[in-house]
């Protein structure tokens, strides 16, 4: 039986696809479709991060921050969060703000902390707005409203009406 894990592995290993490498790292980190293997998680995150994949850079930064599969290294974590944050990765921006606020891996700088926190909020809002404006989510809302599922219908009708205005 061919699994999602096999698909990620083949695309990551044979094709060098950064997105698949990042997903494979995530599978290894959290034990999805395989056993937890922190060293393999770091290996695959690093492969994707070296290709400039923002989510992999952020995930690898987190590994360095909390010592998952690598020795704790706050400076390396800050560097990786910064690379991902510069690409608009909201979670990395949040972490970078926290690092600047706390002086972890970087010199403490409240202005930089505020800058990255504000950027994270802005980028999260834009991502959510894009998601909420996709035709797929609109189709889902319309289908649920039509089904008139008890307990959800009134709030979804409100969402549907807001979307149309």
Instruction: Read off the pLDDT of residues 2-31 as tens digits, 9 standing for 90 and up.
Output: 577 777 788 778 888 999 999 999 999 999
Give the DSSP per-residue string, 8-42. Answer: HHHHHHHH--HHHHHHHHHHHHHTSSS---HHHHH
Domain boundaries, the chain: 134-165
CA-CA distance, 18 to 136, in Å (whole number)? 26
Percentage of residues of the chain with pLDDT beyond 70: 74
Mean pLDDT (whole number) for 129-148: 53
Contacts 24+ apart (CB under 8 A), 81-87: 81/57, 83/49, 83/52, 83/54, 83/57, 84/54, 84/55, 84/57, 84/58, 85/116, 85/119, 87/52, 87/54, 87/57
Task: Return the higher-pLDDT residue of 117 and 157.
Answer: 117
Instruction: Measure the CA–CA gap between 9 and 12, rounded to whole angstroms.
Output: 5
Two tokens at 48? 């994707």
- Is pTM beyond 0.95 here? no
């Amino acid at each position: 039986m061919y699994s999602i894990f096999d698909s990620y592995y083949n695309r990551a290993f044979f094709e060098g696809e950064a997105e698949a490498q990042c997903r494979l790292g995530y599978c290894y980190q959290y034990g999805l479709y395989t056993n937890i293997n922190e060293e393999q998680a770091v290996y695959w995150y690093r492969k994707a991060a070296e290709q400039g994949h923002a989510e992999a850079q952020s995930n690898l930064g987190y590994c360095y921050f909390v010592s998952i599969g690598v020795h704790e290294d706050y400076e390396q974590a800050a560097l990786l969060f910064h690379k991902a944050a510069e690409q608009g990765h909201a979670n990395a921006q949040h972490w970078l703000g926290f690092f600047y606020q706390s002086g972890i891996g970087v010199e403490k700088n409240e202005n930089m902390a505020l800058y990255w926190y504000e950027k994270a909020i802005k980028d999260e809002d834009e991502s959510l707005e894009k998601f909420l404006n996709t035709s797929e989510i609109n189709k889902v809302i319309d289908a649920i409203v039509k089904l008139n599922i008890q307990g959800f219908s009134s709030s979804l009708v409100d969402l549907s009406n807001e979307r149309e205005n």
